[in-house]
Structure 1
Amino acid sequence: MLPHDNDQAKIRQIVGIIRRSTAKVVVAFSPSAYLLPLTEEIALQNLTERQWIASEAWATSSVFHTRQLLPFLGGALGIAIRRGDIPGLQDFLLSLRPDFDPGNNMVSMFWEEMFSCKFKADSPDKVCTGQESLEGTESAYSDVSALRHSYNVYKAVYALAHALHDLLGCKPGTGPFPGHSCVELHTLQPWQLVPYLQRVNFTTSFGDQVSFDKNGDALAIYDVMNWQRAADGTIKTVTVGVFDESSPPGQKLLLEEENIFWNFESHNPPHSICSEPCPPGTRRAIRKGEPVCCFDCLPCADGEISNQTDSRECYRCPVDFWSNQLRDHCVPKEIEFLSFQEPLGISLTTISVLGACICAVTLSVFARHRNTPVVKANNSELSFLLLLSLTLCFLCSLLFIGQPQRWTCQLRHAAFGISFALSISCILVKTIVVVMAFRAARPGGNAMKWFGVQQQRGTVLAFTVIQAVICVVWLTTASPMPSKNTRSQKAKIIYECAVGSIAGFSALLGYIGLLAAVSFLLAFLARNLPDNFNEAKFITFSMLIFCAVWIAFVPAYVSSPGKYSDAVEVFAILASSFGLLGAIFAPKCFIILLHPEKNTKKALMGRESAKK
Structure 2
Amino acid sequence: MKPNVFKDGDLVIAGFFPLYTFLTQERTVRPFKGFFLQQFLTKNYQYVLAMLFAIEEINRNPHLLPNISLGFDIYNARHSEQRTLEIPIIWQSGMGKYNPNYNCRKESKSVAVLTGQSWALSIQVGILLELYKIPQLTYGFYDPNLRNDDQFPSIYQMAPKDTSLALGMVSLMLHFSWTWVGLVISEDKRGIQFLWDFREEMDRNGVCAAFVEMIPITEKSYFTFEWHYHLRIKESPVKVVVIYGDSDSLLVLSFCRWRVLVIGKVWITTSKWDVTTSERDFFLDSFHGTLIFSYHHGEIPGFKTFIQIVNPVKYPEDFYLAELWFISFDCLLSESDCNTLENCPPNASLELMPWWQFDKDMNEGSYNVYNAVYAVAQSLQEMLLQRVEIQSVENGDELIVEPWQLHPFLKNTQFKNPVGDHVVLDEARKLDTRFDILNFWNFPEGFGLKVKVGQFASDMPHDQQFSISEEMIEWNAGFSETPHSVCSEKCIPGFSKTSQLGKPACCFLCTACPENEISNETDIEHCVKCPDHQYANSERTRCIQKTVTFLAYGDPLGMTLVCTALCLSFLTAVILGVFVKHRDTPIVKASNRTLSYILLISLKLCCLCSLLFIGRPNTATCTLQQITFAIVFTVAVSTVLAKTITVVLAFKVTAPGRRMRQWLVSGAPNFVIPVCSLIQMTICGIWLGTSPPFVDKDAHSEPGYIIIECNKGSATAFYCVLGYLGCLAFGSFIVAFMARNLPDTFNEAKFLTFSMLVFCSVWVTFLPVYHSTKGKVMAAVEIFSILASSAGLLTCIFGPKCYIILLRPDRNTQHGLLYKSPSGGNKLS
**TM-score grouping bracket, smaller chain normalisation:** 0.7 to 0.9
Specify which of 582, 589, 598 is matched with residue 369 of structure 1: 582
Instruction: Confirm or deny: 8 A CA contact 1:373 1:601 kept in the other structure.
Output: yes
Give the Å deviation of 1:69. 8.8
Residue identity in the other structure for 2:280:
T
Which stretch has the larger CA shift, 578-587 or 469-478? Answer: 469-478
User: Which residue of 2 is the match for residue 178 of structure 1?
Assistant: none
User: Which residue of 2 is the match for residue 293 of structure 1?
Assistant: 506
Residue identity in the other structure for 1:369:
H
Counterpart CA distance in 2 for 1:444 and 1:56 is: 127
User: Which residue of 2 is the match for residue 179 of structure 1?
Assistant: none
Counterpart CA distance in 2 for 1:97 and 1:507 is: 115
Specify which of 434, 446, 451 is matched with residue 664 of structure 2: 451
Specify which of 478, 483, 501 is matched with residue 270 of structure 1: 483
Give the Å deviation of 1:324. 5.1
Counterpart CA distance in 1 for 2:323 and 2:652 is: 153
Which stretch has the larger CA shift, 50-59 or 570-579? Answer: 50-59
Q: Within the alignment, does 1:552 sit opposite 2:768 as a pair?
A: no
**Deviations along 1:243-291, whole A, 9 cap, x unmatched?**
4859965777665544432124443221122233444554444445444
User: Which residue of 1 is the match for residue 685 of structure 2?
Assistant: 472
Which stretch has the larger CA shift, 561-570 or 135-144? Answer: 135-144
Specify which of 231, 234, 246 is matched with residue 15 of structure 1: 231
**Deviations along 1:39-92, whole A, 9 cap, x unmatched?**
665787764211112332333542x33359925322222245658354286379
Counterpart CA distance in 1 for 2:738 and 2:353 is: 129
3-state SS of 1:407 partner: helix
3-state SS of 1:296 partner: strand
**Deviations along 1:358-388, whole A, 9 cap, x unmatched?**
1112112222232333323322222211110
Instruction: Confirm or deny: 8 A CA contact 1:591 1:599 kept in the other structure.
Output: yes
User: Which residue of 2 is the match for residue 55 of structure 1?
Assistant: 270
Counterpart CA distance in 1 for 2:441 and 2:303 is: 31
Specify which of 289, 312, 335 is matched with residue 75 of structure 1: 289
Counterpart CA distance in 2 for 1:439 and 1:455 is: 15
Counterpart CA distance in 1 for 2:569 and 2:680 is: 22
Q: Within the alignment, does 1:146 sit opposite 2:344 as a pair?
A: no
3-state SS of 1:532 partner: coil
Q: Within the alignment, does 1:346 sit opposite 2:542 as a pair?
A: no
Aligned sequence identity (%): 35
Instruction: Confirm or deny: 8 A CA contact 1:303 1:323 kept in the other structure.
Output: yes
Aligned pair in 2 of structure 1 residues 187, 14: CA closer, same or farther (>3 Å)?
farther
User: Which residue of 2 is the match for residue 536 of structure 1?
Assistant: 749
Aligned pair in 2 of structure 1 residues 289, 31: CA closer, same or farther (>3 Å)?
farther
Q: Within the alignment, does 1:398 sit opposite 2:614 as a pair?
A: no
Which stretch has the larger CA shift, 444-453 or 355-364? Answer: 444-453
Instruction: Confirm or deny: 8 A CA contact 1:203 1:210 kept in the other structure.
Output: no
Which stretch has the larger CA shift, 71-80 or 335-344? Answer: 335-344
**RMSD between aligned alpha carbons?**
4.9
Counterpart CA distance in 1 for 2:772 and 2:727 is: 24
Q: Within the alignment, does 1:238 sit opposite 2:425 as a pair?
A: no
Instruction: Confirm or deny: 8 A CA contact 2:766 2:781 kept in the other structure.
Output: yes
Aligned pair in 2 of structure 1 residues 378, 231: CA closer, same or farther (>3 Å)?
same
Trace 1:78-117 onto structure 2 (pairs within 5 A). Answer: 78-80=292-294, 84=299, 86-87=301-302, 90=305, 94=309, 98=313
User: Which residue of 1 is the match for residue 640 of structure 2?
Assistant: 427
Give the Å deviation of 1:448. 5.5
TM-score, normalisation: structure 1 = 0.77
Counterpart CA distance in 2 for 1:388 and 1:544 is: 21
User: Which residue of 1 is the match for residue 406 of structure 2?
Assistant: 190
Instruction: Confirm or deny: 8 A CA contact 1:32 1:61 kept in the other structure.
Output: no
The structure with the largest helix share of the pair is 1
Counterpart CA distance in 1 for 2:478 and 2:310 is: 49
Residue identity in the other structure for 2:748:
E
Trace 1:112-511 onto structure 2 (pairs within 5 A). Answer: 134=347, 139-140=352-353, 145-148=360-363, 149-150=365-366, 152-157=368-373, 185-186=388-389, 190-191=406-407, 193-194=409-410, 197-198=413-414, 200-201=415-416, 204=419, 209-212=421-424, 215=427, 217=430, 220=433, 224-232=437-445, 234=446, 236-241=448-453, 243=455, 255=468, 257-302=470-515, 304-306=517-519, 308-314=521-527, 325-327=538-540, 338-438=551-651, 449-452=662-665, 455=668, 457-483=670-696, 497-501=710-714, 503-511=716-724
Give the Å deviation of 1:25. 0.9
Aligned pair in 2 of structure 1 residues 185, 482: CA closer, same or farther (>3 Å)?
farther
Flag structure 1 segments of 5+ consecutive residues without an equivalent.
169-181
Flag structure 2 segments of 5+ consecutive residues without an equivalent.
1-213, 392-404
Give the Å deviation of 1:536. 2.0
Counterpart CA distance in 2 for 1:601 and 1:521 is: 30
Aligned pair in 2 of structure 1 residues 484, 290: CA closer, same or farther (>3 Å)?
same
TM-score, normalisation: structure 2 = 0.59
Counterpart CA distance in 1 for 2:787 and 2:526 is: 51
Residue identity in the other structure for 1:595:
R
3-state SS of 1:371 partner: coil
Trace 1:558-597 onto structure 2 (pairs within 5 A). Answer: 558-597=771-810
Counterpart CA distance in 2 for 1:150 and 1:185 is: 33
Counterpart CA distance in 2 for 1:503 and 1:92 is: 100
Counterpart CA distance in 1 for 2:764 and 2:310 is: 120
Aligned pair in 2 of structure 1 residues 229, 356: CA closer, same or farther (>3 Å)?
same
Instruction: Confirm or deny: 8 A CA contact 1:396 1:415 kept in the other structure.
Output: yes
Instruction: Confirm or deny: 8 A CA contact 1:241 1:253 kept in the other structure.
Output: no
Counterpart CA distance in 1 for 2:741 and 2:325 is: 146
Instruction: Confirm or deny: 8 A CA contact 1:85 1:145 kept in the other structure.
Output: no
Give the Å deviation of 1:356. 1.1
User: Which residue of 2 is the match for residue 172 of structure 1?
Assistant: none
3-state SS of 2:509 partner: strand
Counterpart CA distance in 1 for 2:465 and 2:713 is: 71
User: Which residue of 2 is the match for residue 177 of structure 1?
Assistant: none
Give the Å deviation of 1:242. 6.2
The structure with the largest strand share of the pair is 2
Instruction: Confirm or deny: 8 A CA contact 2:606 2:632 kept in the other structure.
Output: yes
3-state SS of 1:353 partner: helix
Residue identity in the other structure for 1:197:
T
Trace 1:29-40 onto structure 2 (pairs within 5 A). Answer: 29-32=244-247, 35=250, 37-38=252-253
Instruction: Confirm or deny: 8 A CA contact 1:19 1:47 kept in the other structure.
Output: no
Aligned pair in 2 of structure 1 residues 213, 340: CA closer, same or farther (>3 Å)?
farther
3-state SS of 1:53 partner: strand
Aligned pair in 2 of structure 1 residues 414, 159: CA closer, same or farther (>3 Å)?
same
Residue identity in the other structure for 1:12:
H
Residue identity in the other structure for 1:146:
D
User: Which residue of 1 is the match for residue 15 of structure 2?
Assistant: none
Counterpart CA distance in 1 for 2:579 and 2:773 is: 39
Counterpart CA distance in 2 for 1:115 and 1:42 is: 27
Give the Å deviation of 1:542. 1.3
**Deviations along 1:318-362, whole A, 9 cap, x unmatched?**
566665555555566676754444333332222222211111121
